[in-house]
Structure 1
Amino acid sequence: MTERTSRLGGRRRRVIVGGAGALALTLGTLATGLTLPTATAATWPSANGSEAVSATKNISGSVDGGMKRYYGTGALGTGGQNEDQDPIFKLADGTTLKNVIIGAPAADGIHCSGSCTLQNVWWEDVGEDAATFRGTGKTFTVTGGGARKAEDKIFQFNGSGTLNISNFAGQDFKTFVRSCGNCSTQYKRTITVTNTEITAPGSVIGGINTNYGDSLTLRGITIVGDSSKKIIPCQKYIGNNTGAEPTKNGTGPDSTYCKYSASDLTYK
Structure 2
Amino acid sequence: MEDARMLLLECSSESDSTFESDEMDFDELDCSDPLAMSGRCDLHRGLRIEISQHPHSMRKVANIVIGLQRLQKFRHAEKVSRSTEFTEHELLNIILESVVEETVVMRLSCDSPVTYSKQDKELQCTVCDNLQKRLVHSEGDPYLLAVTLKGGNQSQSVRINLSTYASPSCNSTKGQPVCLGIAKSNLYLSCTESDSGSPHLSLEEVKNKEELKMIRGEDGLKRFLFLRSVKGGSVNTFESARFPGWFISTATEDDQPVEMCGEADTSRQRVFTLLP
Specify which structure has the higher proportion of strand: 1
Alignment TM-score > 0.5, same fold:
no
TM-score range (shorter-chain normalised) is: under 0.3
Specify which structure has the higher proportion of helix: 2
Higher relative contact order (CA 8 A, sep 6+): 2
